[in-house]
Chains A and B, each alone.
Chain A
Amino acid sequence: MSCCFENTLHYSSPAHGDWGVVRIGMLAPESVQLFVCPFACGRHGAIGAMRQGFKNRLFYLYISQSDIISGYDDLIPEAVEEVFAALPKRPRVFFIFVSCLDDLIGTDHQALLEVLGAKHPDVVFRICHMNPISLGSLTPPPVSIQNNLYSLLEPSESHDHGVNSIGNLVALSPASELHDFLEAAGCGPLRHISQYETYDAYQEMAGSRANLVLAPAGKYAAGQMAEKHGLPSLFLPVSYRLKEIEEGYRRLQEFLLPGQPLTFDFSRQKEEALQAVERVRALVGSTSIIVDGSAAVRPFGLARALLEYGFSVCRIEAQECSAIDRSDMEWLRAKHPEIEIFQPQHHKAVLFQRRLPGSIAIGVDGAYLAGSRYVVDLFNDQGMFGYYGVKKLMELIEEAAKAPVDLEGLINEYGLVV
């Protein structure tokens, strides 16, 4: 396995991107968003919102060069009033987004929030950041927007047995055995922000007993919730390795019921996962597989799992290796030096020099760059967890192997935003 990662000019393939802060912020029930930025900064978010069907909650205050020079703080309250006037129903949450340049000019956000809060005490205002210039810091946009979402929860006087799933943008599949495990442990339900339609109902998550952090972008928010609500959290990112899944459940048991041994019987779920692995491995044989970071938060971990199951992984596409994926990368480097690490944003990616049209790509970015005709429709581990996740992954690979896919159509369906 060749390594390591270079900081080059970034190529942005048509399959590059994610939900973006607009779509993530829209998870907040009864919320609206006002972006305060040069008009250009809003184009991708607005078109993406039109595609997703929530442009009616997204508004813009375009600022000019002179506004930037003189400061635009005082323009925002009037714009907020105009947004209120245009809305058919009063929102409960008002997100004001600023863009990269705001990081450099020192807008007094706190003073602004005080003015708006005093005038509209029935609405919760938050300053949010669409500032990819902060990527690499502790609070890049995917992290800060999740913190904004969960900062809306007010401390609850009582706590039930519910457990919040934090960090994952899509609720876990109801088919995952995690739900059964929680129920058997006297915990649950497993809550997710997407299940709430009203701001008041959403407050239920403040009354949960713990946070289960399923994706790294939720860790910071969970830390803030620990301070504000006293909610303990466990970071348990999605894994496709049986050993790790088993260990994860052991940690979860200890986290929820300290000192009590793990008694839940996972044998059926484990067996189903293994059967799926056997079936799909037999189907796929030695077909080359590309594992792409757009599909899984831990592409090296996913590649390791597949190799351990006997699949033939030929390439891992990852722009960098996150801390939680490092040990798997080291394992792969030691055991499988033949596997290629491909940076999808490297300037050389545009040359399309190493095409693998017959491969199966797990993830659309990997498929686009390799020209794979067979594509596993998995994005960001969505809905996956535990033994169910392994079984579901196998089903997706099986489906992908059966017929070539319309990749451009699939990418368009994802509605990715850079």
Chain B
Amino acid sequence: MAVLSLFLPPFSPDYSGVSAVLFDLKTVTAMHDASGCTGNYTGYDEPRWYGSKSPVYCSGLREIDAVLGDDEKLIQKMIGAARDIQPDLMALVGSPVPMVIGSDLTGVAAELEARTGIPSFGFDTTGTAYYDKGAAATILALLERFTEPLAIVPGSVNILGTTPMDFGRGENLRDLKKLLQDRGLSLTACLAMDYSLEALRQAAAAEINLAVSRTGLLVAAEMERRYDIPYLCGLPYGEKASEEYFAALEEARQSRQSRILKAPSEDFPGSPSSRNPDGPAEILIAGEQVQSNALRLALQRDCGESAVAVGCLFGLEPDLALPQDKDLKSEQLIGRELNRPNYRLIIADPFLEVLLQNKEKEFWPNAQYAVSSKLAEGQTARLTGSFFNRWIEINRNR
């Protein structure tokens, strides 16, 4: 159904998610479009683009190719690039026009692989879904192709679901890796930022998967089915909440049971609430669902704030949600939610502030690349571990 947007920019689409996952690998990736879709990714969804040598290309689709369904031209361009780049794999990424003309990119990829012998993938992305869907589909396709079941290495973890759309230039991710290292855990694969094909091949050797985004949860659930690796979904934000995170991690390692960390109130009957534990939420966190959940847990454990709702900008995953959480599918719904009188504090990407009618309401910015791209990078909150507590102090003292 058509949706009107008056104030916000469109968020990162599925094809950007695909390309971001392939960025680190030696891949000839072609976004099958005329130019603009590739420009979305290289210009506004990929902070690593400047200075990189990642062979992500545009196919240069033209009207006549679309009308005639000329796949051979695309195949020849891919083969030409493969000759010079010598990639480990190749990928074709869909966009709105291939969707309309019914391009079979999976079939074209199979043809490409048959002719070159290079593992090739086709992703039928459409530009009508968000980045997390494209990213998850790509990680899963890579795992299926390259990752065989292996003996578990004790104390090893995979980090699942890292893309620039959720982690920007990766400051919070680096902090997470440091925390894991400090606790004696080794990293097998970080999918999909700062990883290699070799790490991907070893991914099934991890003792546990850490799903750090909705993308990660989608991948972790499938890896549990395929490789019997349990997962912990969440992020260690805040000093106290991080202790709980690592306790949950240890428990999941021991029990081999997966767990989603989301701070339901019934888990913590004695939890202090500063104001209104039973009434409607007083704080709204609008953003990516897993990160927002982690922020909520930290607010609860470290700050005693229990009346917190999460507004999901990119779709609501029921397993991650609490009853008060909202699926904010459109700008209208986001605006309506932000302006509910029960919220005294909004935590969201700074671009969302324009929707706030009552400027007296407190707004704490936390930029997300999938929303504000490079325009608000300086307002990305560093939240991992004790950095959360410092961020709270800064905001309280503003």
- List residues of A whose CB falls within 8 A of some B CB: 6-12, 14, 16-17, 37-44, 46-47, 50-51, 55, 59-68, 72, 75, 79, 82-83, 86, 99-101, 103-105, 130-137, 347-348, 350-352, 408, 411-412, 416-418
CA distance A8 to B57 in the complex (A): 10
CA distance A350 to B49 in the complex (A): 11
Q: Which residues of chain B are near A14, meaning CB under 8 Å?
A: 42-43, 49-50
CA distance A40 to B100 in the complex (A): 14
B97 touches A101 (CB 8 A): yes
Taking a contact as CB atoms closer than 8 A, the residue among A8, A38, A63, A104 that contacts B77 in the complex is: A8
B85 touches A347 (CB 8 A): yes
B66 touches A133 (CB 8 A): yes
- Residues B27-67 near A (CB distance < 8 A): 28, 30, 33-40, 42-45, 49-50, 53-55, 57-63, 66-67
A9-B81, A72-B2 given as contacts; is B11 within 8 A of A347 (CB)?
A: no
- 9 nearest A-B residue pairs (beta carbon): A418-B39, A40-B127, A40-B13, A46-B9, A9-B57, A132-B34, A39-B10, A347-B81, A133-B34
A17 touches B54 (CB 8 A): no
CA distance A103 to B81 in the complex (A): 29
B128 touches A40 (CB 8 A): yes
CA distance A17 to B62 in the complex (A): 18
Chain A residue nearest to B84 in the complex (CB)? A348
CA distance A169 to B277 in the complex (A): 58
**CB proximity of A373 to chain B, nearest CB, Å:** 14
Q: Which residues of chain A are near B55, meaning CB under 8 Å?
A: 11, 347, 350
B84 touches A347 (CB 8 A): yes
Chain B residue nearest to A79 in the complex (CB)? B4
A41 touches B4 (CB 8 A): no
Q: Which residues of chain B are near A131, meaning CB under 8 Å?
A: 34
B6 touches A101 (CB 8 A): no
Q: Counting chain A CB atoms within 10 Å of each CB, which of B3, B10, B62, B78 scores highest?
A: B10
CA distance A65 to B97 in the complex (A): 11
**CB proximity of A25 to chain B, nearest CB, Å:** 15
CA distance A200 to B106 in the complex (A): 54
How many residue pairs bridge A and B at CB < 8 Å? 203
Chain B residue nearest to A72 in the complex (CB)? B2
Taking a contact as CB atoms closer than 8 A, the residue among B12, B53, B63 that contacts A350 in the complex is: B53
Taking a contact as CB atoms closer than 8 A, the residue among A51, A55, A75, A347 that contacts B80 in the complex is: A347
Q: Which residues of chain B are near A418, meaning CB under 8 Å?
A: 35-36, 38-40, 42-43
Given A9-B30, A39-B128, A68-B100: 20 more A-B contacts, CB < 8 Å: A10-B57, A12-B43, A12-B58, A39-B5, A40-B96, A41-B36, A41-B127, A43-B373, A46-B10, A47-B372, A67-B2, A79-B2, A100-B96, A104-B63, A105-B100, A347-B81, A348-B84, A350-B53, A350-B85, A418-B40
CA distance A10 to B56 in the complex (A): 9
A44 touches B44 (CB 8 A): yes
Q: Counting chain A CB atoms within 10 Å of each CB, which of B15, B42, B50, B128 scores highest?
A: B128
Interface size class of B (residues with CB under 8 A): 35 or more
A7 touches B60 (CB 8 A): yes
A104 touches B375 (CB 8 A): no
- List residues of B whose CB falls within 8 A of some A CB: 1-16, 28, 30, 33-40, 42-45, 49-50, 53-55, 57-63, 66-67, 77-78, 80-81, 84-85, 95-97, 99-101, 126-128, 351, 372-375
Q: Which residues of chain B are near A352, meaning CB under 8 Å?
A: 53
**CB proximity of A404 to chain B, nearest CB, Å:** 16
User: What are 13 pairs between A and B in contact, CB < 8 Å?
Assistant: A7-B77, A9-B81, A10-B58, A12-B42, A17-B39, A38-B128, A40-B10, A43-B40, A61-B2, A101-B97, A133-B34, A418-B39, A418-B42
CA distance A104 to B43 in the complex (A): 26
**CB proximity of A94 to chain B, nearest CB, Å:** 14
A61 touches B95 (CB 8 A): no
A44 touches B43 (CB 8 A): yes
CA distance A169 to B66 in the complex (A): 31
Q: Which residues of chain A are near B127, meaning CB under 8 Å?
A: 38-41
B63 touches A9 (CB 8 A): no
Q: Which residues of chain B are near A41, meaning CB under 8 Å?
A: 10, 36-37, 96, 127
Q: Which residues of chain A are near B63, meaning CB under 8 Å?
A: 103-104, 133-134, 137
**CB proximity of B333 to chain A, nearest CB, Å:** 13
A10 touches B35 (CB 8 A): yes
Q: Which residues of chain B are near A350, meaning CB under 8 Å?
A: 53-55, 85
A130 touches B77 (CB 8 A): no
**CB proximity of A178 to chain B, nearest CB, Å:** 34
A62-B2, A133-B97 given as contacts; is B11 within 8 A of A39 (CB)?
A: yes
A9-B57, A418-B39 given as contacts; is B10 within 8 A of A43 (CB)?
A: yes
A9 touches B58 (CB 8 A): yes
A75 touches B60 (CB 8 A): no
B373 touches A47 (CB 8 A): yes
Q: Which residues of chain B are near A39, meaning CB under 8 Å?
A: 3, 5, 10-11, 13, 127-128
A133-B63, A133-B66, A135-B34 given as contacts; is B50 within 8 A of A408 (CB)?
A: yes
B43 touches A416 (CB 8 A): yes
B84 touches A51 (CB 8 A): no
Q: Which residues of chain A are near B100, meaning CB under 8 Å?
A: 68, 101, 104-105
Q: Which residues of chain A are near B61, meaning CB under 8 Å?
A: 133
B97 touches A100 (CB 8 A): yes
Chain B residue nearest to A63 in the complex (CB)? B2
**CB proximity of A164 to chain B, nearest CB, Å:** 30
CA distance A351 to B348 in the complex (A): 39
CA distance A352 to B84 in the complex (A): 12
B15 touches A40 (CB 8 A): yes
Q: Which residues of chain A are near B1, meaning CB under 8 Å?
A: 64, 66-67
Chain B residue nearest to A69 in the complex (CB)? B100
CA distance A65 to B125 in the complex (A): 12
B44 touches A99 (CB 8 A): no
CA distance A116 to B14 in the complex (A): 33
B45 touches A43 (CB 8 A): yes
CA distance A132 to B4 in the complex (A): 23
A9 touches B43 (CB 8 A): no
Q: Counting chain A CB atoms within 10 Å of each CB, which of B7, B11, B53 scores highest?
A: B7
CA distance A39 to B77 in the complex (A): 28
B128 touches A65 (CB 8 A): yes
B66 touches A104 (CB 8 A): yes
Chain B residue nearest to A65 in the complex (CB)? B128
A51-B375, A132-B35 given as contacts; is B12 within 8 A of A43 (CB)?
A: yes
**CB proximity of B113 to chain A, nearest CB, Å:** 17
